[in-house]
Amino acid sequence: MRRIAATILGFLAVCFVLTAWLNYDRPDISTLLPATVSKTTVNDTQNGLHVTFLGTSTVLLDDGETQLLTDGFFTRPSLLSLLGEISPDRQVVEDALLQYGINETLAAVIPVHSHHDHALDSALVAQLTGATLLGSESSAMLARGEGLDKRQIRVAETKQPYQFGNFSVTLIESGHVPMPNAIAGWIGLGEDIEKPVSPPAKLGDYHQGIAYSVLIEHPEARLLIQGSAGFKTDQFTHFQPDGPVDIVLLGIAGLSKQSDDYRAQYWREMVETIGAITIAPIHWDDFTQPLSADLIALPSLVDDLSATLEDIQAALKPEQSMLYMQPTQRHSIKDLLSPTKQAPTSNTSQ
């Protein structure tokens, strides 16, 4: 009886989400974001470190010699396809790599956790570019299932720096934003992938695995990429970046549905404890829509982006700012940082 009841509840939850996703209103990004954050100058001609936000928590870092990519999620299956089986769309991924200049200089692709909207394409991106896939054992299981050369698979040790060119990458175990029980069970929230997954596969095969905060240190800047609006209490207590973090790319999907206490603690853990100066929201877009410069927000009933951005704006200290990164556009780190900001002096090659 319990199993039948759970199945019925799960079905009703899925129906509710589908109805809300397809029919509920969404905030207008073109008017919402410019009203609360300032757009940055896009400058493709500058040398040095560039950052490109490619939807969800896919972020490309490129200093002209080496590239890093979190997630590499480009297929973005439609909402209805998630009810069946999904797999990477090779043509879509190849086109994205070409369009955004992701090439053989890509040293690592780093899934922030193993849900489909992060890790679905990670192994294929590594295969097409020759990059190392750096992530959890669950992400490694996905890569093995897709036949990625084992020499390209590296299971990360947390709080252990990995060097790629002038980049130092450290993965710190974090958390995933809480979800309703029926959805959490469906997507394997907090669960590991225990055997290789060969697509096409069901959405529920893409369990979360370890969720990471990704610290990236470069001679030009320190960045933290937080792909999900989750945390572990005091996760930075025994590990601190070598100086304040210049920019935190802050996952915000699902924050509006959490308690005031949860949102306040998330801010403390991911912004205040690391001394972040600039906050750039990511993972705010509807990941069932194709990648474009005009990404749309999740439906307001699913996640209230307006409320979350208002909360962030209210929490900012005078020395902090919120930054809008135009999707698919290359942003020079020199444009993103304050004109008075000096490059870190620490040696990231240790």
Residues paired with residue 202 on neighbouring β-strands, in sequence order? 85
> Phi and psi of 164, rounded to 5°?
-135, 105
The H or E element spanning position 233 is none
**Tokens standing for residue 164:** 């790629």
Q: Give the predicted TM-score (pTM) of the model.
A: 0.90
Q: Is residue 44 part of a domain?
A: yes
Q: Is residue 344 part of a domain?
A: no
List CB contacts of 211: < 8 A, sequence separation 6 or more.
112, 113, 173, 174, 175, 176, 227, 228, 230
Instruction: Report the C-alpha gap between 82 and 209 in whole angstroms.
Output: 19
We report the CATH number of the domain holding residue 171 as: 3.60.15.10
- Domain containing residue 272: 2-336
- Give the total number of structural domains in the chain: 1
Q: Write down the pLDDT at residue 35.
A: 67
One pLDDT digit (tens) per residue for the chain, 350 residues: 666 655 555 555 666 666 655 556 787 777 777 667 666 666 666 789 999 999 999 999 999 999 999 999 999 999 989 999 999 999 999 999 999 999 999 999 999 999 999 999 999 999 999 999 999 999 999 999 999 999 999 999 999 999 999 999 999 999 999 999 988 999 999 999 999 999 999 999 999 999 999 999 999 999 999 999 999 999 998 777 777 899 999 999 999 999 999 999 999 999 999 999 999 999 999 999 999 998 999 988 889 999 999 999 999 999 999 988 989 999 999 888 864 444 444 443 33
Strand segments, DSSP code E, in 83-131 are 85-86, 106-110
Instruction: Report the C-alpha gap between 84 and 28 in whole angstroms.
Output: 30
Determine whether 144 is exposed, middle or buried from the number of CB atoms within 10 Å of its CB (0-12, 13-18, 19+): middle
Report DSSP state, residue 151.
G
Nearest to 110 by CA among 55, 154, 160: 154
SS3 state at 18: helix
Q: Is residue 347 part of a domain?
A: no
Q: Write down the pLDDT at residue 66.
A: 98
Residues paired with residue 148 on neighbouring β-strands, in sequence order? none
Whether the upstream peptide bond of residue 34 has omega within 30° of 0, thus cis, is no
Nearest to 190 by CA among 173, 175, 171, 212: 175
- Compute CA distances 191 → 2, 206, 350, whole Å: 21, 9, 34
Q: Is residue 349 part of a domain?
A: no
Sort strands 153-155 and 132-135 into parallel, antiparallel or unpaired: parallel
The H or E element spanning position 279 is strand 278-282
Q: Is residue 330 part of a domain?
A: yes
Q: Is residue 345 part of a domain?
A: no
Instruction: Report the C-alpha gap between 281 and 297 in whole angstroms.
Output: 12
Q: Write down the pLDDT at residue 134.
A: 98
Q: Is residue 101 part of a domain?
A: yes
> Phi and psi of 165, rounded to 5°?
60, -130
Q: Is residue 173 part of a domain?
A: yes
Nearest to 37 by CA among 323, 265, 258, 272: 323
